[in-house]
Amino acid sequence: MQDSGEGADADALRGFDATFHLDGIYGEEESTYREMYKEITGRPLSSTVSEYDASRTKPRAFSYRRCRGNEALVDNCFTLHGRLFVANGTPSLRIWRTGTNRLLGILPPEEEIMPPCLLDKMSFQTSIYGDFTVCPFTRERPGEIQMVCIEEARHLLAETFPEAGTAKSYSRIEGCSLMGAPSQ
């Protein structure tokens, strides 16, 4: 098989037009995801590693990023008690709603719209329990993660899972809102 400049994979998958496009391997889902990202953030999703790396070295600016009042919201904001954690997959930041099997994903990936008091605390080794005021970008559907942003976080407790053989540790974190104001 000859390489037509698009890559051998493109040639091998040419018959799968419905699911494969040269702009990405995820077809229509990727296109929809890119459109949702642009609607939420007001700018296109980075498609190259260099764009991604460059965006991660800049400080995060919160002035243009809104949660409450964002034009892409589909319903009113609401408050829930849950556990914020990092997971493999997209979106990587998720909230488990305590007492349910529901998961909420924080959008947009890599530049989550959430209060600054949470950003520096998140890792695979740390979960944060608290009361989160979230605003939905998607409607709640059985079996699907509902996409949200976090407007405010209060009554926070960080649970850290250290290396094997040592005990978990807990610490209180001061709450805050997306605009940076401390919250009790």
For the segment 35-84, what is each residue's pLDDT rounded down to a tens digit?
A: 766 666 666 665 443 343 344 333 333 334 688 888 889 999 999 999 99
Residue 14: what pLDDT?
Answer: 41
pLDDT at 9 over 60: no
27, 31, 37, 47, 58 from 18: Cα distances, Å: 7, 12, 22, 21, 37
Residue 66: what pLDDT?
Answer: 81
Across the range 153-182, mean pLDDT stands at: 83
pLDDT at 129 over 50: yes
109 upstream amide cis, omega within 30 of 0: no
Residue 10: what pLDDT?
Answer: 41
Across the range 161-183, mean pLDDT stands at: 78
Read off the pLDDT band of 119 (50, 70, 90). Answer: confident
In whole angstroms, what is the distance from residue 112 CA to residue 62 CA?
Answer: 10
Read off the pLDDT band of 177 (50, 70, 90). Answer: confident
Give the dihedral sign, CA 126/51/138/63: positive
Percent share of the chain, pLDDT over 90: 38
Percent share of the chain, pLDDT over 70: 61
In the predicted model, what is the mean pLDDT of the chain?
Answer: 74
In whole angstroms, what is the distance from residue 39 CA to residue 35 CA?
Answer: 6
Residue 62: what pLDDT?
Answer: 35
In whole angstroms, what is the distance from residue 112 CA to residue 106 CA?
Answer: 6
Residue 19: what pLDDT?
Answer: 37
In the chain, where the domains are located: 8-57, 78-183
- Could you read off the pLDDT of 104-118 as tens digits, one per residue? 999 988 888 998 888
Across the range 147-166, mean pLDDT stands at: 88
